[in-house]
Amino acid sequence: MISRRGIFDGHSTDELDGLLRWVLRESVAGAVAPSHVWPRIRGDAQRLAALRRAWIWRVSDLVRQVVVACLSRVNGLLPMLELPPVQGDGSVMLGYDLGWVRLLDHHRLSCSWYARLGT
């Protein structure tokens, strides 16, 4: 505890430092982060992650549609493609990846076939 006498005498820098420290510590004395904050952070982080996955899914789906449309115009590949199931969560990403591999394989094969025809 800081005495009044100490405060009245002199006002040295050390005393003022001590006073500032005392006032600020008193202002937050016993302050502890409430226990309900962490579950809120965790819940929000999970929601953010789900939104992020959904966004990635939408973008990749859009890109896939554009590529499929382009390829179908070039060499009529569309009927050969097996389209992946349409779902909204991140778990379908692997399915899409496989779809992409198939799509690119078909395209490469057909290109090489056309190339052979040309020779």
Partner 1 sequence: MTAQYTDGWLVAHVREGDLEALGELYKRYKTQVYRTALAITHDERAAEDILQDAFLRVYTYADRIDETVPLGPWLYRVTVNLSYSWTNRVKRWWHFFQDTLDRWALPVHNHPEALAEDQEWRQVLQQAVDALPSTHRVVVILHYLEGLSLKEIADIVNAPEGTVKSRLHYARESLRKAILEREHRLVPEVAYDFT
Residues interacting with partner 1, by CB under 8 A? 1, 4, 7-8, 11, 13, 16-17, 19-28, 31-34, 37-38, 40-42, 44-46, 48-49
Query: Closest separation between CB of residue 23 and partner 1, Å?
Result: 4
Can you give 48-106 as a three-state secondary structure string? HHHHHHHHHHHHHHHHHHHHHHHHHHHHCCHHHCCCCCCCCCHHHHHHHHHHHHHHHHH
Query: Closest separation between CB of residue 8 and partner 1, Å?
Result: 6
One DSSP character per residue, 36-50 reads THHHHHHHHHHHHHH
Residue number, 50 or 70, with CB nearest to partner 1: 50
Query: Closest separation between CB of residue 89 and partner 1, Å?
Result: 14
Q: Are 19 and 2 in contact (CB under 8 A)?
A: yes
Query: Closest separation between CB of residue 14 and partner 1, Å?
Result: 11
Distance between CA atoms of residues 84 and 47, nearest Å: 25
